[in-house]
Structures are given as structure tokens and as C-alpha cells.
Amino acid sequence: MFSKLFKNYVYGKVGNSRSTLVSYRTAGVNSSTNYDDLSEIGYKKNVIVYRCVQLISRAIASVDWVLQRTGDDNEVYEVLYNHDILDLINKPNSKQYKTTFMEEAVSHLLLSGNSYVTVVRDDKGTPRELHLLRPDRVRVIPGTSSVPLGYEYSVGGKCTLYDVDQETGRSNLLHIKLFNPLDDWYGMSPVEVAVGSINQHNAIAQQNTSFLQNGGRPSGALMYKSSIDPQKRNELKENLRTLYEGGRNAGKILLLEGNFEWREMGLSPKDLDFISGKELAAKEIALAFGIPSILIGCMSSATFANYKEARYNFWEETIIPLLNIIAGEFSNWLRGVFKTEYRLWYDLDSIPALSKRRESEWKKINNAEFLTTNEKREELGYGPLPMPPDTFANAASEPSGCGVCKEEHRDEVGSITNAL
């Protein structure tokens, strides 16, 4: 039954995949083109988009992963640093390690709004490898509910179908997508939001290049006081282009004979100020990706006190929320693949950029006089000390005559508190 539904959808009702967002042409922007145009013009030929995608993808790729056992209250009761799932994440396949794998997965997500991961099993059904599929080669086969019937992967004239369990939603293919208000099956890329600014940034760069190739001078008009033969006009235009056009010919003197007159087509200094327009376009592109402009080189009007503060806000407001999406999707998928109760999550303490957050939390816990030393150690992830569990952390602030903290423990409590 399922194969029949698949056949109807694959070869009949569903059209081309919506895997791309924007293209750039001389006349303007077309928003219904393919992933190849987006990658070629939006990523390979726009330095701001390239930098934004690199910053986000490499930041997420640098994060370490752990396995957690949680309860109904979402409290973490156990953390594992060695497991088959972690081995698979750290070495997903024979050609990639964790960093390159995650960087590519996040780059797909940012450029197309979709990222696809598939698992390869051995003869016993044990997961052995993870592979990424290019978004433009994958097509979602819509279902009658919120769960798709499956996915179609086409490359080299061959087609592979990945079915989806209609009851549990389980599949050998993981689809991570960003929110799209107008599409139930495909995500929306930040590039789609910034398409106008990207087009403007590219146009300004192209205009600056053309201006420099003309020797930094505006175009002019060669005036002839009487009519001229069309053939001679074409020859004259070709000669002028060969002898005087381009940066190598800048500064050459134009020699005119007969009734010719050169008239300069001047531009005001305001018209020649492309820098402010280009910087504004760059900031708008960075805004769509959630990156502070100072991190992409726009230093003139930085809104953060320094680079360190901007980097901290970048992690707090962009990387951590995106990590939550990716970790949640991976965890839910791998739980079904490995049939385990553990969830895959990122190790927040391994992120150097968030040291400011950790210092603030440690200071807050250390200053909590109503907590015992063991309670403080538990909050910080350490085991209890061999002392009465209700001992006050700050012996000096303990109410007199309470009899809780014995005299022999007072010095130990003070040294532990200072260490915290």
C-alpha cells in the first residue's frame, strides 16, 4: 500500500522540490530559482553571506556533545561522555569527523533552510554511519497529515526512497528545518529574508569594479557636430574601447580631430559614495543571520562596547537557540535509531565564549548563604563532601546556638566556601 502511495506521489502529483530561494540577474532578483544559483551567487560570490555562514556553522561545530538521562521534570540525573551514539557523532563516516560533519549540516540549514541526515546500518541493523544529503537533491513527499509519506533522494540518475512511519514519524532520514510560515514541508533560509540586501551588496561591488576599470572616472560622451557613417561609428567606438577603457589605460590623453568634442558626464561626491550603501547592506545581511555587525568587520557604528561583548551576545542570542533546535531534532531522531532513553545534548561548559555566564552563576551560588556546601557543590556538578548534609556553607553567618555545624568542621567549611 505504502509503495503505491509513494509511486503516485513520486511520479505523479508532486512537482519540483522547493529547495532554493533566490538568484541574481542584471535586472534584479528572482525569488523562485534553484539551490545552485543561491550557492553560486549568494554564498560563493558574496563575502558577507560567506562570513555569516562560516561564523555560525563553525561555532556550532566546535561544541562538544554528551548524553544525558533526564526525568519527567527534565532534570538531568546522569551524564555520559562515552557511548556508541557519541562515537557515531564524533566520527560519523569514513570521510568526516564531527567538526566537518556539523559544519556542513549547519551550512545546508542556513543556505536552504533544510538539512538532511541519513543513517547507514550494518547487516544486523546496528547504526554504523551518518551521511549528509544535499538539500537540492531531496524532495519531501507530502502526506495527508503533518507527517510526510517519505523522502526522495535523486543523484546521478538514481532515486532512493526513505519511508516514514505514519504513526511514530520514525525514519532513517532526519529532516531539520527552520520555521517557514508559508510551507508545511520545507524550511525558510535567512538568505531569503536578506535577498534584497544581498542583491544590493553584489550590485554595489560590481559597480565599484566597473568604476575602477574605467580608471576611476565617470563615463562621458563623444560629440560629433555632423552626421557620421554607421560603420565609422562602430569602428570609432571599438578604437576608443581598446585604447582608453580599463584601469591600464587610466590617465591617457584623448586626442581628437575634426569636429569631435568630448563632454564629461560628471558625478557628485555624494553619488560616488558607495561605501555607506555597501556597509548598510552588509549590516542588513548580518541582521538576518543574527550576527552583530562588528563580527563581520563593520566597525564604524558598533553597538557593543567591545568585541568580547559582541561575541558573547552572538552565542547567547544566535548560537544557543540554534543549538537547541539541532540538539532537539538529533536527540529525538537518535533515540529512535538506537532505541535508547538517553538524549543527545551539547556540553555548555565546554564553550569558552560563555565563561562570563558561568562566572556569574558560580558567583550567585557562592553568595547564597541559605545553601549548604554540599548543595552548592551539587548545583555546580560536584559530589558531596563527607560532612553533615545540613551544614551551613557560611559558618560565620550561621545563627548562634543552632548546633548544626560542629566546631571541627568550621575551618573546612570556610576553605570550601572560598574555593567555590
- pLDDT class for 371, splitting at 50, 70, 90? confident
pLDDT tens-digit map of 309-352: 888 889 999 999 999 999 999 999 998 888 888 889 998 888 88
The model's confidence at residue 21, banded by pLDDT at 50, 70 and 90, is very low
The 10s digit of each residue's pLDDT in 133-176 is: 999 999 999 988 889 999 999 998 999 999 999 988 999 999 99
Query: Is the model's pLDDT at 223 over the cut of 90?
Result: no
Residues 46-74: what's their mean pLDDT? 90
Among 36-50, 85-99, 316-330, where is mean pLDDT lowest? Answer: 36-50
Give the distance between the most distant pair of CA atoms in the chain. 114
Give the span between the Cα atoms of 298 and 292, in whole angstroms: 9
Once rounded to an integer, what is the mean pLDDT over residues 9-24? Answer: 36
For residue 75, name the pLDDT band (cuts at 50, 70, 90): confident
Q: How far is CA 20 from CA 30, 203, 254, 301, in A?
A: 11, 21, 49, 33
Q: Which whole number is the average pLDDT over 10-26?
A: 36
Query: In whole angstroms, what is the distance from residue 298 CA to residue 191 CA?
Result: 19
For position 269, what pLDDT does the model report?
57
Q: Regarding predicted confidence, which is higher, 109 or 12?
A: 109
Closest among 105, 179, 133 to 17, alpha carbons compared = 133
> Could you give the C-alpha distances from 341 to 69, 72, 332, 333, 366, in angstroms and in order?
7, 12, 10, 12, 34
CB-based contacts of 248: which residues, under 8 Å, 6+ apart? none
Q: Buried b vs exposed e over 283-318: b needs ≥16 C-beta within 10 Å?
A: bbbbbbbbbbbbbbebeeeeebeeeeebbbbbbeeb
